[in-house]
Structure 1
Amino acid sequence: MSIEAPGRGDHRARRPVAHRFHRRYLAVVLVLAVVAALAAVVGSQQGPRLRDVSYDAGDLVSRPAQRVILTANQALQRVAPDDVRVSPAAAHTVTSSGNTIAVEFDGPLAYDSDYTVTVTDVRAPGQRATSDLTAAVRTGSTDVLALVPGAPGAQDRIVRRSLDAGGATTVYQGTAISEYARLGRSLVVVSGTDARSSVDIVPLSGGVQDEDAPVEHLTLPTSAGRVTALHAADDGASFGFEYADTSTGQSRNTGLYVVDMTGTHLPTAIAEDGTPRTGAVPMTVGQWAYVPRTESALVRTGSDDLVLVDMSGRADPVRLGSATYLHGFVGTGTTAVVETGTGIVRLDLTDGAERALQAPAASTAAAVLGRIAQLTDDTYLRVLGDVRSDGTIAARVVRVDGDRASRLPVTIPDDASVTAVCPSPNSQFVAVATKSASGELVSIVDATSGALEASVDAGSVDWCGALPSGDEVG
């Protein structure tokens, strides 16, 4: 009889199992290697492919410098700008890194439109095969906010009106609303009387007032005062207004204040030297507005000085001479259209350079000349008016394209006066606000053809908040 050492039989029994596991492991590794090799061969023959496209449809139509990002399935050689085509054509720049290509548009795109971005002859490093990447882009539509006065005994309403659907949605309602402004995901609302205003910050959810979130009631500089000329920065970081202390029964210390939403939310005076300072005597204002897409404000003071004010206080104010009227901004925001003692000029806010505004004869052939609404670098709208025998004004809207001027076919009732012409953020549409004995009306029309897109019974829309306002806006 032989005696087997303990465990030896178990060891021999496990050996075939270990061999089978080892063979299976090698087979799996071999299959994966073959698959990887085949994928590399196929990839080298087909070239890179598009894996993902990302963009914000709303920002593409409301802001410049917005991007469409194309992501490939592998790293790419640098993409030249000439290799990228956009249809319909839109000015853009191109950058690429790794497996992504960024197409950045100079200005906002058209509403509710299809664009195609094509990148030709892309290739991966070390490969000869090339391919084309094609991305379909659909831009967003737009809506406007409008203040609809309530009937006697009823509340006023701020409504949202979409241009691609009928009807209006109530965003907020209250008593004696005078002004409002979008502020990120909130709404700033001014209400009250000429002797006593209140300012509320209303949280929004789904585009309407969030009933579950509290409304913030702003503490104003004095026990009673009047708030006018409300404007908000595009990024929602701050808003400002003109304030007049009425606590003594008469207006005093009228001037510009800013509310920093990243800080205490307390109104801070913009001092006469152009810096935000608590307790300072505020800068007097004839007109003012935020420069689009910045934290700076362009201010025409009560003495017609022109000052570029950093509302955050991080940069020194810049004095830009003088002006008798601020018409508005060119879409990019770095240029303002201002009226001086010698004419109307385009003022470069980066270096103070001035360039005369082209004004064909047909754009000035009227007794009454209204505000200029700049659409692009070379295109603007202007309201002209002739005086009738009964003293009323017969108004018309003129479109100027370079050295040509033509009437924009917008219907204006005989008994109505034009109170504002306000371009949309991408200048595709324009809001024409009119006032007559029967009430107020805002017509949204195509800025090129004058075709009516929508209308709302209101005095103005939020697009008008981009235009300078103040004591002398007519």
Structure 2
Amino acid sequence: MPTALTDAPTPGSARGFRLALWSIVTVLTLVCAGLVAVNLLNGPRLLGFDVDPAGVVASANQRLVLETNQQLDAVTAEQVTLLPAVPISVDTSTDSIIISFPQPLAYNTDYTVTVTGATGSATGQSSDFEVAFATEEPALFYLSRGAAPDAATGAAKQPDRILRTLIGSNETEPVFEAPYIQEFVPIGAELAVVTLNADLSSTLTRVDSEGVASALTLPGGGGVQDLEAAPGESLLGFRFTSTTDASGPVYENSLFLFDLATGVADPVLGLDAEPVQAIDWGFMPGRAELVAQLYDTTVLLIDPLVESIEADGQLPEPIPLGQFSALTAFAPDGLRIAVSTANAQFVLDLSQGTEDALAAESVVGTTRYTAGLQFLAGGDGFVQRLAEFDPDTGQVRQSLTLVSGGEQPGGEERVVYAPTSGAESIVAFSVSPNDQYLAVQIEPNRDTAESDGYPFEAQATDATTLFVNIATGQITRSVVGFAATW
């Protein structure tokens, strides 16, 4: 007799399988229906949010994005509260709420964002959300020069040091040291440093994030001045002057760009297709162009990058912007620069082709003039250094003032810092990337000050930098050194 297969299904087992399958399908259908009902009866639910704690303090127009589980009706700025309060703008994109910060946020600050009445487009139901995030503080660098050699005691020259620190901390970390450091610029997490040799020629050095230094090849023997780094580009720029015994091409204050990717330095060419000889220059933030001031005070807008080569194989010609006695500052928006003549200061808007004069308000009995300007990253404000000459006393009073409301007349003006004594001088200043602090370089006592004797970028031996809160005018910290750079 044939043997029956033991695993063959029986009519009863097949019917049981079908019943079990239908039971599972029914349960899943009920669960799905329940979830749909829950979504129809409840408002949107927050799935998460995205924000860059470092980016929101580094530049304007950064964003916080809230993601929900439903498509949303438009959320207005009135429905969003940010504490501590700063200006915001709000947009809605399908299931996301996008909160933009026109101004950078404060360092090391806890922020809370509350959204009320966010409504689902399909359900008509509303919900409230609340998220919290903390901002970071970027490191800043400054240069502290060591004491000069002392012939009387035989003491050797103390090394110069580039130090890294935070405004919110009293700790400093040495990043690089050498006998004679002229200047430096940060390049991302690295540094580019100009040091002086015994024959007063320069060495350009790249210092990585681990402190390892490597020399970069210059156009020959010579001196480097006005070192800058292009934001977001692997480019350095500097003015170069050959030594008297240099072989090969001879340069005098010629503008060069150094490509960190290739290790090659090329001259920037001017209207005559010859290397630009500049007395001042700077990169346009966020753009490929640079601005250079020539010996005859002509200011040129130059695009020196090969990516800009036109159809005929030529770089676009430099654009003359006018003749000015000084090239003062570059706005973070990459559209405006500040320039000055002997009698006035102007803001050139390169996107509009306009020129607006900045007139210092007169003070009865004094002659008031501007001497330096730094744009803010958020809005149209700026900080300027003012000097008032009092003919009765023969004294000059300095101050740093915040001007808000744009470059047009009628903007609000407020003193942020003024020297504490008549002998103190404001040498230079810069604004932190988030508009929160001023780094104010001072000479504590001009009557007793001594120069460190460097052939380029000479400074007082007691050069000091104060960090001033722009909102309150409070000095939060001071360091012995200069060239504070974020």
User: Counterpart in 2 of 1:325?
Assistant: 326
Aligned sequence identity (%)? 27
Output the amino acid matched with 1:272: G
Change (3 A) 1:168 1:397: same
Which digits, 9 at most, give the CA deviation of each residue in 1:126-163, with x for residues without a partner? 22212233332322224321011123433221111211
Output the amino acid matched with 2:239: E
> Deviation of residue 404 (structure 1)?
5.3
Which digits, 9 at most, give the CA deviation of each residue in 1:166-190, with x for residues without a partner? 1211122223111111111221111
Counterpart selection for 1:408 from 411, 416, 420: 416
Equivalent pair of 2:234/2:259 in contact (CA under 8 Å) = yes
Change (3 A) 1:405 1:47: closer
Equivalent pair of 1:362/1:406 in contact (CA under 8 Å) = no
Report SS of the residue matched to 2:8.
helix
User: Counterpart in 2 of 1:242?
Assistant: 239
CA distance in 1 between counterparts of 2:390 and 2:274 reads 42
5 Å-filtered alignment, 1:108-127, equals: 108-127=104-123
Counterpart selection for 1:439 from 462, 465, 476: 462
Change (3 A) 1:379 1:271: closer
CA distance in 2 between counterparts of 1:326 and 1:166 reads 35
> Deviation of residue 388 (structure 1)?
10
1:190 lines up with 2:194 in the alignment: yes
> Deviation of residue 327 (structure 1)?
2.0
User: Counterpart in 1 of 2:456?
Assistant: none
> Deviation of residue 117 (structure 1)?
3.3
Equivalent pair of 1:288/1:298 in contact (CA under 8 Å) = yes
Deviates more, 1:453-462 or 1:166-175: 166-175
Equivalent pair of 2:269/2:304 in contact (CA under 8 Å) = no
> Deviation of residue 123 (structure 1)?
3.3
User: Counterpart in 1 of 2:270?
Assistant: 272
1:295 lines up with 2:278 in the alignment: no
1:53 lines up with 2:56 in the alignment: no
User: Counterpart in 2 of 1:163?
Assistant: 167
Which digits, 9 at most, give the CA deviation of each residue in 1:63-114, with x for residues without a partner? 1221112111334345456654544444444444343332232231222233
1:456 lines up with 2:479 in the alignment: yes
CA distance in 2 between counterparts of 1:26 and 1:271 reads 80
Report SS of the residue matched to 1:11.
coil
Counterpart selection for 1:144 from 137, 140, 150: 140
Report SS of the residue matched to 1:39.
helix
> Deviation of residue 36 (structure 1)?
2.4
Q: Which blocks of at least 5 consecutive residues in structure 2 are unaligned?
A: 148-155, 309-315, 405-409, 450-460
Change (3 A) 1:312 1:336: same
> Deviation of residue 38 (structure 1)?
1.9
1:307 lines up with 2:300 in the alignment: yes
Output the amino acid matched with 1:160: R
1:217 lines up with 2:218 in the alignment: no
Change (3 A) 1:381 1:343: closer
Equivalent pair of 1:330/1:377 in contact (CA under 8 Å) = no
User: Counterpart in 1 of 2:34?
Assistant: 38
Change (3 A) 1:184 1:406: closer
> Deviation of residue 367 (structure 1)?
6.9
1:255 lines up with 2:228 in the alignment: no
Change (3 A) 1:150 1:245: same
1:172 lines up with 2:209 in the alignment: no
User: Counterpart in 1 of 2:312?
Assistant: none
Change (3 A) 1:170 1:413: farther
User: Counterpart in 1 of 2:225?
Assistant: 228
Equivalent pair of 2:465/2:482 in contact (CA under 8 Å) = yes
CA distance in 2 between counterparts of 1:299 and 1:16 reads 93
Which digits, 9 at most, give the CA deviation of each residue in 1:369-397, with x for residues without a partner? 52123345244331426489999865443
Equivalent pair of 1:381/1:398 in contact (CA under 8 Å) = yes
Counterpart selection for 2:205 from 200, 213, 226: 200
Equivalent pair of 1:363/1:405 in contact (CA under 8 Å) = no
Output the amino acid matched with 2:69: N
Change (3 A) 1:123 1:195: same
1:336 lines up with 2:319 in the alignment: no
User: Counterpart in 2 of 1:76?
Assistant: 72
CA distance in 1 between counterparts of 2:281 and 2:119 reads 51
CA RMSD of aligned residues (A): 3.2
Equivalent pair of 2:144/2:481 in contact (CA under 8 Å) = yes
Which digits, 9 at most, give the CA deviation of each residue in 1:406-447, with x for residues without a partner? 543444454443210111112221011013526110000112
Change (3 A) 1:248 1:124: same
Change (3 A) 1:388 1:241: farther
Equivalent pair of 1:113/1:140 in contact (CA under 8 Å) = yes
> Deviation of residue 37 (structure 1)?
2.1
> Deviation of residue 247 (structure 1)?
5.0
Counterpart selection for 2:275 from 274, 282, 288: 282
1:377 lines up with 2:377 in the alignment: no
CA distance in 2 between counterparts of 1:21 and 1:448 reads 75
Deviates more, 1:179-188 or 1:232-241: 232-241
Which digits, 9 at most, give the CA deviation of each residue in 1:236-260, with x for residues without a partner? 4322111111152698432111123
Change (3 A) 1:414 1:40: same
Output the amino acid matched with 1:141: E
User: Counterpart in 1 of 2:354?
Assistant: 353
1:99 lines up with 2:95 in the alignment: yes
**How many residues are matched?**
445
User: Counterpart in 2 of 1:472?
Assistant: none
CA distance in 2 between counterparts of 1:156 and 1:200 reads 15
TM (normalized to structure 1)? Answer: 0.83
